[in-house]
Amino acid sequence: DLSTGIIYRRRIATCQNVIPEILRKVSVLKVPDIYLEEESWLNMQKRNMAMKTHCLTWTEYASLSEESVFRESLENPNWTDFTQKGRISVTGAGLLNCVLEAFAQSFLKQGVRK
């Protein structure tokens, strides 16, 4: 956007399905790839970037979303402050709802630690 200087991007990411084989016995979970939509807003003047991601796969059974903000640290302009919020909800999978939510939560926490 020339008036604000904000660079907007929207893209689709293809991720390998990381659900354990034992859970892929359920046919709907037996897909090779998972698709995510990511939107980002980069403001070079304010030195920050916001991102929103949500899952496009299994939308009738699960909802997964994440919001991240990267901004210049108040302590040191060469550092980056990073904040992230995420939400996982599984419905329509019966007794597997809780198991799938726990797996997704554990997997995403590992990614955050990295």
Q: What is the pLDDT of residue 28?
A: 75
Looking at the chain, the whole-number percentage of residues with pLDDT higher than 70 is: 89
Please give the pLDDT value at position 80.
95
Give 73 or 95, the one with higher predicted confidence.
73
Alpha helix positions (H), 1-114: 96-113
Amino acid residing at 63: S
What is the distance between the alpha carbons of residues 86 and 51, in angstroms, rounded to a whole number? 12
Tell me the average pLDDT of the chain: 85
pLDDT at 108 over 90: no
pTM of the model: 0.73
- The domains of the chain are located at 6-112
